[in-house]
Structure 1
């Protein structure tokens, strides 16, 4: 983690948006998962593992998606991990899990499985590492074709973690992804960079899910 000082290119933008009562913004867009779904069926993976991996791989490659606030100062993490909702076995309500990201899909998928197994034994909304800012929060609503989404937020000087939500996938493999984040770090240009990377990954999973 490195602190971003006054020489940071986005320093003025950060100060401008952080002075707002609500510096968050939300955007939704369509993602085609036909190739990812075919890859998942071929290898027997969980679709959510594939979704989280694709989004995390893209996010880790865009600097602004690794920028957060720590001790009231903007910082940039070298890498970020995944926090996700999960309904433990025998329960109807979700808990929260944390999985360390790895650019190798098999490793990341194993980390997700281990987090789920831990949650089956000890479900909680506050898992170890869940309070860190070096995360992205994931949720899925696989039965709802979402058009947009908003999430609960804390104080934006303390809570700076982006929220990613995936909706129902239609028969053509299209789903909607909603992103909510601090405008203090992320503009349309960064969203475009993320979207292009995500599209590349989902169109060619054999190349990236190695």
Structure 2
């Protein structure tokens, strides 16, 4: 299933409670803030062991589901003004055979089965292409992305991204770490633009994501 075209709706600054916060943080040279949390992933890991789904694909699928449910994760900054997007896609880092990464562009699907098929097809194709592929040229820099990376080798408690000059679009960035089979926990780093969100919003998103994981496993 291909997602519907993303609709971009301007946010009315006159009625938006974050008007002054937006004006304040949007002028920062480094306006993103980072939170690292520990997700309870034991049930999802065990479910994926018993079923023909990739653990990696499963938590990417559920992350996109949570982002579609929680509107602040679909807010962006275009031409210095806040907007609301109707949908988002995942710009997901995957490792190619030469141990360099590629971006795979995953769209929301109607079910985990559909997403698994879609992600396998897209991922296999992207890993055979150069880093600066046609897909990269056509997709990176678009506002309707969620950046998702994975560090399955590290059980980290903090994370900092490489940054470039400019304020950017306000795209959230997620980094999943190493799953700990002893505790059932997995670290997740979340970067969001402070003009669009505060810690309260990140906490609410994490709660939604954890509920998505629990409901999927029941």
Normalising by the residue count of structure 2, what TM-score does the alignment of the two structures yield? 0.88
Q: How many Å separate the matches in 2 of 1:55 and 1:62?
A: 11
> When the two structures are aligned, how many residues end up with a matched partner?
206
Between stretches 120-129 and 106-115, larger displacement belongs to: 120-129
- Residue 155 (structure 1) shift: 4.2
**Runs of 5+ consecutive residues of structure 2 not aligned to the other structure:** 1-7
Q: Distance in 1 between matches of 2:46 and 2:132?
A: 33
When residues 80 and 156 of structure 1 are mapped into structure 2, their CA distance, relative to the original with a 3 A threshold, is: farther
2:47 is equivalent to residue 32 of structure 1: no
Aligned to 1:131: 141
1:153 corresponds to 2:160: no
Q: What do you get for the CA RMSD once the two structures are aligned?
A: 1.7
Match of 2:10 in 1: 3
Displacement of 1:121 after TM fit?
Answer: 2.7
Deviation of 1:159 (Å): 3.7
> 1:99 maps to which residue?
106
Q: Which moved more, 1:17-26 or 1:98-107?
A: 98-107
Q: Is residue 57–residue 103 contact of structure 1 (8 Å, CA) maintained in 2? A: no
Cα distance in 1 for partners of 2:78, 2:163 equals: 16
Q: CA 1:141 to 1:17, structure 2 compared with 1: closer, same or farther past 3 Å? A: same
* More displaced stretch, 166-175 vs 4-13: 4-13
Deviates more, 1:113-122 or 1:12-21: 113-122
Q: Which residue of 1 aligns with 2:193?
A: 182
- The alignment's TM-score, normalised by the length of structure 1, stands at 0.91
